[in-house]
Amino acid sequence: MSRSKFTIVAVALLSLFSSQGFGAPAGVTGLTDATISENGWTTILSATMTEVDAQAAAAAGGGDYTPADPATIVSAQFSTAGGHRPRIWLSPNINSEDYRALMDYDWNSDRVVNVFKFHMANLGGAGSAMAPNNFPEFKARQGFQRLNMFGMDLALEAGVIKPPPDGNMAWCQGPVLLGEAVKYIRQIRQEGAQIKWVTLDEPLNQTSANAEHSCGLSYAETVRITADWIKGLRAQEPRVAIADIESFPAPSAAKLKKWIDDLQAAGALPSAFHIDINREVAAGDIRNPAIQNELIDLANHVRAKGVRFGIIYWGQQTTNSDAYVRDVLGFYVDSAALRAVTDDYIFQSWHPSANGKMDIPVNLDTRTSNHLSLIRSSARYDIKETKSGCATGPLSQDDYLTFYPDVRSAGINAFLHYKLFGAKEGRCEVIGRCTMPVSAADYLTLYDDVRNAGSNPIEHFNLWGKSEGRCPIQ
């Protein structure tokens, strides 16, 4: 886990615990209820689903289309070893402005998302820092029941051991945060919904070996406190499954395997194990075959125990939602070697944007790339990988480079590659505006109309090509 995520979580939890009571939520800028109603979310989302269904029908060879089972849509290459079926998790950024809209309309009619995960920071009262994305607002919308009705199980991310931002060392012991998790599970049950999963927010990071953010606990103390937390939750809430989240490559794969072994020996084996890959360090570069092999070995180790293995897909680029989605989709494509050992795909955001708020990406707003389009693009990529030819339909320049890492690595202009090689190879057509420069000669190769007219390429681009979105000439 990056330092920014830890700091965010600690501050949010402190705000959560200090909030008092439930009252009217504060105002929200951007996508308010009024603007959502004005833009007609039901119509917009229906149109989006029609497009996705049509693409899936094309992938299936035409004819009548019945939405496939989510397990098939998301990863057609997935191995069912151990009887596991893939689950897709969505965990919105805690300040995302259209968070509450996720509870208003059945945007999940294709059931592509199986689990909706809340962070505890979003379950505080009206005075919490996350307002208006908080418990009273969700309750007023009957949001918990609605998410269940939209075909999703509910999950809660909880702390086990957290360094004390307020100086209260009780945060470093399990019972404080265990009590908070149980409280929210029961409050949601009172609203007619059920938490099916609780995910543990990287307890192993709290050993004394981790100087960045630590309670100064020994490894043995961390194992004991975490095992007691897991057994305590199971005693109080036996219907709730537990997933442990841990970072990689620090701790190492070898240490993570020992961690799982020691939890099992303590009678506290989790039901799932989710990896938060630190993409900000070279040792977390998922494109490296050696790192892929480490993670495959780790996955096989935990799956042999009957534990689900999952990867958290998060983005480093938070300039805007488009940049975030492109970044995460690239991460997803680069991790293709892990598909056969991955049971859970967790799309989760926590990084702040330029304004300091944790609001990137948006979740549903079709005026830009969003969390839901990211999940569906990932699903379409897996369909493409198992079909001959193009199964997704035309792609933008950026999506072409994302879907075809060999083209991206070679640094070739996407439009030129398709013209010279991609069409013959059965790749998806690239359309839309071009921003990658080409030579004057390549401009003529790309655009038959310019070449056939005998036009000067530079003059053509300056007079017409630029406004038409053609590739600039370098």
- pLDDT reported for residue 465: 95
Position 343, amino acid: D
> Distance from CA of residue 380 to its chain's centroid?
15
Q: Provide the sign of the torsion angle of the four alpha carbons 328, 333, 336, 339, taken in this order.
A: positive
Rg (CA), the chain: 24
* CA 347 – CA 117 distance, rounded (Å): 10
Domains contained in the chain, CATH given = 3-385 (3.20.20.80), 397-465 (no CATH)
Q: What are the residues whose beta carbons fall under 8 Å from the beta carbon of 206, sequence distance 6 or more?
A: 160, 161, 162, 163, 172, 213, 214, 215, 217, 222
* CA 9 – CA 75 distance, rounded (Å): 31
Q: Are strands 308-313 and 344-348 parallel, antiparallel or unpaired?
A: parallel
- pLDDT reported for residue 225: 95
Please answer whether residues 133 and 97 qualify as being in contact, where contact means their C-beta atoms are separated by less than 8 angstroms.
Answer: no
Please answer whether residues 245 and 235 qualify as being in contact, where contact means their C-beta atoms are separated by less than 8 angstroms.
Answer: no
Query: Which tens digits make up the pLDDT trace of 374-413?
Result: 888 787 666 555 545 675 668 888 888 877 877 887 889 9
Residue 70: cis peptide before it, omega within 30 degrees of 0: no
Tokens standing for 214? 């630590």
Please answer whether residues 374 and 347 qualify as being in contact, where contact means their C-beta atoms are separated by less than 8 angstroms.
Answer: yes
Please answer whether residues 71 and 78 qualify as being in contact, where contact means their C-beta atoms are separated by less than 8 angstroms.
Answer: yes
- pLDDT reported for residue 34: 31
What are phi and psi for residue 153, nearest 5 degrees?
-75, 155
Q: What are the residues whose beta carbons fall under 8 Å from the beta carbon of 422, sequence distance 6 or more?
A: 400, 404, 407, 428, 429, 430
- pLDDT reported for residue 368: 78
**Residues in the chain where the model's pLDDT stays below 50:** 1-4, 6-7, 11, 13-15, 17-84, 211, 387
Please answer whether residues 443 and 453 qualify as being in contact, where contact means their C-beta atoms are separated by less than 8 angstroms.
Answer: no
Please answer whether residues 223 and 269 qualify as being in contact, where contact means their C-beta atoms are separated by less than 8 angstroms.
Answer: no
Q: What are the residues whose beta carbons fall under 8 Å from the beta carbon of 4, sequence distance 6 or more?
A: 350, 351, 352
Element (DSSP H or E) covering residue 44: helix 41-59
